[in-house]
Amino acid sequence: MTALASLAAAGVGAAAYPKCTMAADIPDFTLRRKRVKNLRLTVKAPHGEVVVSAPRHVPESAIVAFVSGKASWIAKHQERIAGQPQPLQPGPATEALRRRLKQSAPPMVEHWAGVMGLATPDVTIRRMTSRWGTCNTQTRRITLNLELARRDVTLLEYVIVHELAHLIERGHNARFYAVMDAHLPDWRLRRRVLNAS
- What is the pLDDT, as a whole number, of residue 27? 82
Determine the pLDDT at residue 2.
36
Contact call for residues 164 and 118 (beta carbons, < 8 A): yes
Q: Where are the alpha helices (DSSP H) in the chain?
A: 3-9, 60-69, 71-82, 92-115, 153-165, 174-183, 187-196
Q: Which CATH superfamily is domain 92-196 in?
A: Metalloproteases ("zincins"), catalytic domain (3.30.2010.10)
**Who has greater pLDDT, 77 or 24?**
77
* pTM recorded for the entire structure: 0.63
Domain ranges for the chain: 3-82, 92-196
pLDDT reported for residue 185: 94
Q: Residue 12: its pLDDT value, please?
A: 35
**pLDDT tens-digit map of 70-124:** 999 999 888 888 877 777 778 888 899 899 999 999 999 999 999 999 999 999 9
